[in-house]
Amino acid sequence: MQLFVVGLILLVVKRTGGSLVKKITAVRGSDVWIECTFDAARMRQDEPVWWLHCENSNCIEIQHFIGGVDQLQDRAASRRGRVYPDKLREGNASLFIENVQMSDEGLYKCTVVLRERPDTKISVLTVLASSEPPQLTEALDTRSFTCSSRNGFPPALVTWTGGSGMNYTPDSVTQHTLNPEGLYDVVSKLTRRFTEEETVCCTVWNQPLQEHKTNCMRVTPGQETDAQHSMTATLIPVALFILACCVAFMIYRYHYKGRPNLARIRKRIFSCSNHMVIVLIGRPHHGMPSVINSCVFAYKAEKHFENLAGADKKLPHYAQPEEVPLTEHITITRALLQPEDRFWTSEREAYLDKWRRKEQSHRLCFVFVHSCIDKLTATTKDEIQKLFEDVKSVTGSYPFTALTMKNFGTADELKPFFKYLGSKRVFSFRNYTIHDYKRSAKRDEEFLDFMIACIDEAVDTKSETVPLIEDN
């Protein structure tokens, strides 16, 4: 359209003025002379010299001199181009434009009044713009390359080539956009999967300027071109590694005594400030000394195993010592019953008396200890029930149950019976013994949980004794 209008003007000018039209091409940003010279001898010095700049048939006066005096002084700042007044006398009215821009394009008319008549010289200025060096980037997800270059005129052509001389242009799509400066920005996208290492080059061409600018990049297949695969190929091992670390860390936490919850439990036991006695009740060979040893060993994480409660001792050292200290405030003791059938009936008065007195000054937690190896006969069951009721008459609640030697018998078969009798908690242990005291966090934890339950029970029972008795 623009060219068509300019052409129309050219035709009109040609017919009326009959002058030659000069074509000037300039590169944007350069300085340009638009020549306009006359035969000085024929020139009338007192008559005006003027320049018009026409764009799409819209003409603006840009220079106007009379007798070598600038008539447009007031517009000096805004108008384009400069004429040298001292050269006018020599018949030289050439216009100088510095740092030429797209807006300077168009038709230039230089008019001088000669002796006979006004004479006009016409020039057409075309401005070309050399586009900026292309930027070449790679899109990791789409296996595509983008080449972009700004500020070209006319729109730049883009070609894609490989280092081996291959022409990849057919695999590309190119788009031009006219920017506010009247220049073209170009973006070209090449989509292609490379199977071998290759150098990819993008070239932007300015045909009228006969100028090209190139940018290249190295492409490694399976890495950049196979981006999605490479992402998964790196992410999966990383994810697996992190997972393995987590699992290893959890196993580590589980197996070592450094488990923070064990340390916390030990601290809780340590900080129990009530004077408290854990009273184990049981018959010979049910493993009571081993339960005591185990509790002390589990609590004192840094200590070696010690047979403090006299496990495996035969008469006459039987059941010595009577009380084993656990912490400053807590001790563990045992009520060793007779081995015969009526193990409780024959002993109860002495024990009950002793416990009631102890109850005045201490918090007590009663635990009935029973070996998983031992069979429950009807008499045994009867005796245990009587014992449970008697304990409740002292403290207000039934004793806990600790089933020992769980690795020899089935604790699960015994549990329901003790639950039925009223035992709030039934623990089953594999005791630490002189033959088997390999410490593990899991084993420690069982005894620590047991002691915590005893502490909680003793503290609870003491404060809730009265209502519990009245309930029944």
Ligand X SMILES: *[C@@H]1O[C@H](CO)[C@@H](O)[C@H](O)[C@H]1NC(C)=O
Ligand Y SMILES: Nc1nc2c(ncn2[C@@H]2O[C@H](COP(=O)(O)OP(=O)(O)OP(=O)(O)O)[C@@H](O)[C@H]2O)c(=O)[nH]1
Binding site for ligand Y (CB under 6 A): 284-290, 311-312, 318-319, 336, 404-405, 407, 429-431, 433, 435
DSSP secondary structure string for all residues of 123-144: EEEEEEBPPPPPEEEEETTTTE
Counting contacts by CB under 6 A, is residue 268 touching ligand X?
Answer: no
Counting contacts by CB under 6 A, is residue 433 touching ligand X?
Answer: no
CB atoms within 10 A of CB 174: 18
Nearest to 104 by CA among 55, 143, 171: 55
Provide the residue count of the chain.
472
Rounded least distance, CB 36 to ligand X, Å:
9
- Return the one option of ligand Y, ligand X, none that residue 429 interacts with (CB less than 5 to 8 A, by type): ligand Y
How many C-alpha atoms does 286 have within 13 Å on its Cβ side? 25
Applying the rule CB under 6 A, the residues between 12 and 51 that interact with ligand X are 35, 37
Q: Kind and range of the H or E element at 194?
A: none
Binding mask 67-86 for ligand X (x = CB under 6 A): -----------------x--
Rounded least distance, CB 281 to ligand Y, Å:
11
- Return the one option of ligand Y, ligand X, none that residue 94 interacts with (CB less than 5 to 8 A, by type): ligand X
Contact residues for 33 (Cβ-Cβ < 8 A; gap 6+): 94, 95, 96, 97
Rounded least distance, CB 39 to ligand X, Å:
12
Counting contacts by CB under 6 A, is residue 87 touching ligand X?
Answer: yes
Phi, psi of 358 (to 5 degrees): -60, -35
Q: At what angle do helices 288-299 and 441-471 cross, to 10 degrees?
A: 110
Burial tier of 350 (Cβ tally within 10 Å: 0-12, 13-18, 19+): exposed
Nearer of residues 262 and 292 to ligand Y, judged by Cβ:
292
Nearer of residues 290 and 401 to ligand Y, judged by Cβ:
290
- Choose the binding region for ligand X from 46-54, 87-95, 239-247, 328-336 (rule: CB under 6 A): 87-95
Bridge partners (DSSP) of residue 186 are 149, 176
Rounded least distance, CB 253 to ligand Y, Å:
26
Counting contacts by CB under 6 A, is residue 92 touching ligand X?
Answer: yes
Rounded least distance, CB 294 to ligand Y, Å:
8
How far does Cα 87 stand from its chain's mean position?
Answer: 73
Burial tier of 228 (Cβ tally within 10 Å: 0-12, 13-18, 19+): exposed
Nearer of residues 130 and 371 to ligand Y, judged by Cβ:
371
- Return the one option of ligand Y, ligand X, none that residue 405 interacts with (CB less than 5 to 8 A, by type): ligand Y
What is the DSSP-derived secondary structure letter of residue 42? G
Residue bearing tokens 């009950």: 352
Nearer of residues 225 and 290 to ligand Y, judged by Cβ:
290
Instruction: Report the alpha-carbon distance of residue 298 to residue 305 in Å, rounded.
Output: 9
Number of residues located near ligand X, criterion CB under 6 A: 6
Rounded least distance, CB 28 to ligand X, Å:
21
Binding mask 408-427 for ligand X (x = CB under 6 A): --------------------
- Return the one option of ligand Y, ligand X, none that residue 290 interacts with (CB less than 5 to 8 A, by type): ligand Y
212 and 205 Cβ atoms separated by less than 8 Å: yes
- Return the one option of ligand Y, ligand X, none that residue 84 interacts with (CB less than 5 to 8 A, by type): ligand X
449 and 425 Cβ atoms separated by less than 8 Å: no
From residue 91, how far is each of 62, 122, 207, 305, 325 by CA, in Å?
19, 16, 37, 120, 125
367 and 387 Cβ atoms separated by less than 8 Å: no
Nearer of residues 32 and 296 to ligand X, judged by Cβ:
32
CB atoms within 10 A of CB 144: 19
Counting contacts by CB under 6 A, is residue 94 touching ligand X?
Answer: yes
Counting contacts by CB under 6 A, is residue 63 touching ligand X?
Answer: no
What is the DSSP-derived secondary structure letter of residue 300? -
- Return the one option of ligand X, ligand Y, none that residue 87 interacts with (CB less than 5 to 8 A, by type): ligand X
Rounded least distance, CB 99 to ligand X, Å:
17
Rounded least distance, CB 411 to ligand Y, Å:
10
Nearer of residues 35 and 359 to ligand X, judged by Cβ:
35
Residues near ligand X (CB under 6 A) are 35, 37, 84, 87, 92, 94
